[in-house]
Structure 1
Amino acid sequence: MIYDLIIKGGKVVFSDEVRNVDIAIKDGKISAIAETISNVAKQIVNAEGQYVMPGMIDTHVHICEPGRTEWEGFVTGTKALAAGGTTSYVDMPLNALPATVDRESLRSKLEAAKGKNYVDYAFYGGLVPRNLDNLEELSEEGVVAYKCFMSTCGTDIPNDFKNVDDYTLYAGMEKLAKLGHILSIHAENAIITDRLGEEMVKLGKLTATDYVASRPVFTEVDAVKRALYIARETGCKLHFVHISTAEAVDVIIKARNEGQDVTLESCPHYFTITTAQFEKIGPVAKCSPPLRSEEEQEKLWSKLIDGKIDMLTSDHSPCPPDMKYSETNNIFEVWGGISGCQNNVDLMFDEAVLKRNVPVTDFVRMIATNPAKRFNIRNKGEIAVSKDADIILVDASQAYVVKEEDLYYRHQHSPYIGRKINCRVTKTFVRGNLVFELNQGIVGEPLGQLVTYKKAGETVNL
């Protein structure tokens, strides 16, 4: 057999071990794995000294096309994902306009995405107060999960995303339980955080530290507990996005141990930027839930090291630079979202694997295997024969400093600019096709394919 590609001599990360083996790829799939593969191939890649891992599956990305393509679009966003070692992603139902909350809006997004993605992609549907009757049609169209906000979100612009009230949360969970779908939740107490924010502004407390104080730990924990309680009553499967506190992790793990079907994710910024650093970096580091104190961050690290963080995601939430600026230096006025998807893999590999000795097998489970399993993204998430050849190479001997001009985002701002990272993604393959190479940059034309949800026993067509 003549293979399309052989990746030779790398430190290949499997589910439970790392081995120096060769990987042969044919027709977009991993065809063979062995200590030495001597067959002829159209291309040979020497991976000696580098880690060879499944590409990241980032299940929390905000590509704002259509409707807000001036914030980010499929082309720029997926270039950044590819350069960062992500080979598949799931796009959130916001901040596109219209928000993805019914069949029509989903089809609009599907059409906008055609021919623009450098990596494979899937879509969320939204749960908002106006769309309880649209949840089933979104399932029919192939969304992989649903998303809601318990915190205040959206604008007064028609068809923008809106947070749920308690009835919508309950009724939505009932419907999604019957459909067998996961509901992903942004969990913060809206009433308390809104009022605390208003009080801060009235008192002229407008700094990053004041913003963090307006969204204290207990507001996340309270929302998590309420969502879990309603999910227990309805039988709905839950996934909590961007958890920022160790206490919330403990509550979720306790519920899982008691029999609830629930998982959680966190994001690189919660492990790498503290409140004090947020003050120095400025508005580009604003997000919600907010960045926590050094003490809270260390508690969260302990949960990751103990294996209690199921997934790492970017929550890439871009915006134009003027939305990160306030003439009055009022942090409450600026957009809350971090552009960070290009530094998911390298930053957390450095911080978790290199600096804190987290096993690289655990790291791969968090970035690839667990997301694939939880969201039923078939044929991806691990290095194994017959799986899609979604593969990245990471060189742990190359250090670099993040520079603005190296970012592929539509707007090149990020809280990681100027940060030294002690490893690099050197190559990204999507279904065996090279889409990023460190010295060349983005390679070729967009080749990303749509992933749709199929229930157990059915086939996912890419």
Structure 2
Amino acid sequence: MGTVFDTAIVNGTIVLENQAVKGTLLIQDGKIAGILDSHSRVDSRKQIDAEGMVILPGAIDPHVHLWEPSPQDYREDYNCGSKAAASGGVTTLIEMPLSVPPVIDRESFQLKKEIADRNSLIDFALWGGLIPKSADNLSEMHKLGCVGYKAFMSYANENYPHTPDDVLYRAMKNAARFNGLIGVHAENADIVEAAGREMEQSGNLNPESYPDGRPALAELEAMERAILLAENTGCRLHIVHMTVAEGGEMVRKAKEKGIRVSNETCPHYLLFDKSILKEKGPFAKCNPPIRSLENKEGLWEQIFKGNIDFIGSDHSPYTDEEKLAGKDNIWQAWPGFGGIDVLLPAMISEGVNARGLGLVELAKLVSTNVAKIFELYPKKGTITVGSDADLAIVDLNQEWVYQGEHSFSKTKSSQGIYEGYKFKGKVMATMVRGTVVYENGKITEESTYGEFVPIQR
């Protein structure tokens, strides 16, 4: 008698690393056990008919802010954030360390991991924090399994302060010793601080003026500076939430010189231009800001040229009250908004359907490249025999309108940046390690299901 598999997904289009094929996907013990053609007959305890659907490797969101632990317990947490992620086809989230306390040593790492173990529906990995007092603790966090170490080249906040150049340089030298990854929020701190303060003091308080207070020059200068430091130290460098199209060419040229640098951009920079600030006001405020229509088109050009490695949501929702603090003065609104549940739908809608992005390229941008750069591959990020059966089953053609009240996010704003946006392409089901955690609008598994994923070395 032959093997009886746990699950067989039949009749779907399976997106592999080099092609998309119609076939049958077999799952056993949470792993991909086989990829067969459509005519093969197999025995399985459960069968999922994916006729007309596309089966993608589950998205990996590399840029997620969850405020737990934190005094701001009214903001996004693991329970709600991970459910929102699953509804958008995200099977692994990588959390940025902005919570209080940030992840900067063994104690804060264990606190964060225990909270996530208890409350995450999907699998998770953790960034470590790079602030002045943790610059010499990176090897400890590396041994604990952190995927990288995030620094603000801009000014941040009292719990997560700006990392001066001398500290960043020292941290890069430390990280290079164990092949660690340094991630940077690349904006020149002094330029954006002075420009924003001058605009506010002069009475320029309109939302549509906000990008002028954080100019593209500040981002490009900081990127160039970080790349120079990475070249000198031999450190691996990642540019988070890159907004400036010219940055893609800068990264390409650095790679050609042998510098180990990668970059990401976000769905909101690809769907919107700065006119959304006039429409949505403080609900469209983020750092770095959404820029011009020409820049948006330039980012898409960089994607098609292969000069952007992957997409991250920069999921950081705030309450309506925190956003409306900037109703009459955009400088007073908190910067950021949710987006983990639209990362994959946005790339399908605007990338695949509107611009002809290939399915293989899509999978690289939302999953495979993330897993490789953050050293989670091949456990994550690919549909390959032996890899975790993390899957997003999507209908490329289904149209739907985003409504915050229906999101699983803790912040259910009806004024958010995505509110009312019409997408073409919908996640129908999400599987984590072979288990369906989301299907047809409903969470189908306990929120303790997620597991910690350390770097795979």
- The residue number in structure 2 matching 1:79 is 83
Q: Equivalents in 2 of 1:126, 1:396: separation in Å?
A: 37
Distance 1:228 1:104 in 2: 31
| Further displaced range: 145-154 or 319-328 | 319-328
Question: In the alignment, which residue of structure 2 is the partner of 1:205?
Answer: 204
Distance 1:295 1:48 in 2: 39
**1:389 and 2:386 correspond:** no
How far is the alpha carbon of 1:179 from its aligned partner?
A: 2.1
Q: Distance in 2 between matches of 1:239 and 1:402?
A: 31
Question: C-alpha separation between the residues in 1 aligned to 2:333 and 2:327?
Answer: 11
Distance 1:151 1:314 in 2: 19
The question of 1:405 aligning with 2:408 is answered no
Q: Distance in 1 between matches of 2:92 and 2:327?
A: 40
Per-residue CA distance 1:219-269 (angstroms, 9 max, x = gap):
110000001111111111101111001111111111111110111110000
Q: Secondary structure at the match of 2:61?
A: strand
The alpha carbon displacement at 1:328 in A equals 5.8
Bigger CA drift: 412-421 or 195-204? 412-421
> Which residue of 2 is the match for residue 33 of structure 1?
35
The separation in 1 between residues aligned to 2:247 and 2:425, in whole angstroms, is 31
- Measured after TM superposition, the shift of residue 454 of structure 1 is 4.0
Q: Does 1:2 align with 2:15?
A: no
The one-letter amino acid paired with 2:125 is A
Rounded Cα–Cα distance in structure 2 between residues aligned with 1:282 and 1:136:
42
| Map of 1:459 onto structure 2 | none
Q: Matched residues in 2 for 1:397 and 1:178: separation?
A: 48
Who is 1:17 aligned against?
Answer: 19
1:21-47 Cα offsets, whole Å, 9 max, x none, are 000101000111111342221111110
Which string of whole-angstrom CA distances, capped at 9 and with x for unpartnered residues, describes residues 325-363 of structure 1? 126611111110121110010111110111100111101
Letter in 1 for 2:263: L
Q: Is the 8 A contact 1:307 1:362 kept in 2?
A: no
Please state whether the residue corresponding to 1:335 is helix, strand or coil: coil
| SS in structure 2 at match of 1:358 | coil
Secondary structure in structure 1 of the residue aligned to 2:136: helix
Deviation at 1:424, TM superposition (A): 0.5
Instruction: Give the counterpart of 1:131 among 127, 131, 134.
Output: 134
1:65 counterpart (64, 68, 78): 68
**Match for residue 116 of structure 1?**
119
Find the aligned partners of 2:14 and 2:455 in 1 and give their Cα distance. 29
Distance change >3 Å, CA 245–CA 443, structure 1 → 2: same
Matches within 5 A, 1:294-443: 294-326=293-325, 329-378=328-377, 379-413=379-413, 414-439=416-441, 441-443=442-444
Q: Which amino acid aligns with 2:95?
A: D
The separation in 1 between residues aligned to 2:230 and 2:247, in whole angstroms, is 16
- C-alpha displacement of 1:73: 0.7
Q: Look up the SS of the partner of 2:43 in the other structure.
A: coil
Q: What amino acid maps onto 2:435 in structure 1? A: N
User: CA separation in 1, counterparts of 2:155 and 2:437?
Assistant: 38
**2:222 paired residue number:** 223
Query: Equivalences for 1:136-147 in 2 at 5 Å?
Result: 136-147=139-150
CA contact (8 A) 1:390 1:429 kept: yes
* Alignment partners' CA distance in 2, 1:445 and 1:310: 33
Q: Distance in 2 between the 1:284 and 1:47 partners? A: 37
* AA aligned opposite 1:24: L
**SS in structure 2 at match of 1:113:** helix
Where 2:103 maps in the other structure, the secondary structure is coil
Q: Distance in 2 between matches of 1:34 and 1:328?
A: 56
Per-residue deviation at 1:138? 1.1
Check conservation: 1:23, 1:37, Cα contact below 8 A.
no
Q: Which residue of 2 aligns with 1:445?
A: 446
8 A Cα contact 2:281 2:327, kept in partner: no
For the aligned residues, what is the CA RMSD?
A: 1.2
Distance 2:192 2:176 in 1: 29
Cα shift readout 1:276-327 (whole Å, capped 9, x = no counterpart): 1221012121111100111111111111122211101101012222110126
Q: How far, CA to CA, are the matches of 1:69 and 1:7 in structure 2?
A: 40
SS at match of 1:11: strand
AA at the equivalent of 1:78: S
- Distance (whole Å) between structure 1 residues aligned to residue 333 and residue 215 of structure 2: 19
Alignment identity in percent?
A: 36
**Aligned pairs, number:** 449
Amino acid across the alignment from 2:312:
T
After superposition, give the CA deviation of every residue in 1:92-142 in whole Å (9 maximum; x if it has no partner). Answer: 111x10011111111111121122111100101011012223222111211
Q: How does 1:162-173 map to 2 (within 5 A)?
A: 162-173=161-172
User: Partners in 1 of 2:280 and 2:133 — Cα distance?
Assistant: 38
Secondary structure at the counterpart of residue 133 of structure 1: coil
Unaligned ranges ≥5, structure 1: 456-462
Q: Which residue of 2 aligns with 1:458?
A: none
Q: Which residue of the partner structure matches residue 281 of structure 1?
A: 280
Q: Which moved more, 1:130-139 or 1:100-109?
A: 130-139
Secondary structure of the residue aligned to 1:41 is strand
2:341 is paired with a residue of what secondary structure? helix
* CA distance in structure 2 between the partners assigned to 1:114 and 1:146 by the alignment: 21
Alignment of 1:204-283 (within 5 A): 204-283=203-282
Aligned residue in 2 for 1:90:
94
Task: Give the superposition deviation at 1:149.
Answer: 0.7
Q: In 2, distance between residues paired with 1:454 and 1:327?
A: 43
Change (3 A) 1:110 1:257: same
The C-alpha deviation readout for 1:38-79, integer Å capped at 9, x for no partner, is 222111111011111100011111111111332111100000
CA distance in 2, matches of 1:297, 1:148: 25
**Once superposed, which parts of structure 1, at least 4 consecutive aligned residues long, lie more than 3 Å away?**
none
**1:460 aligns to what?**
none
Q: Give, in whole Å, the separation in 2 of the partners of 1:282 and 1:438.
A: 33
Instruction: Check the 8 A contact 1:31/1:385 in 2, yes or no.
Output: yes
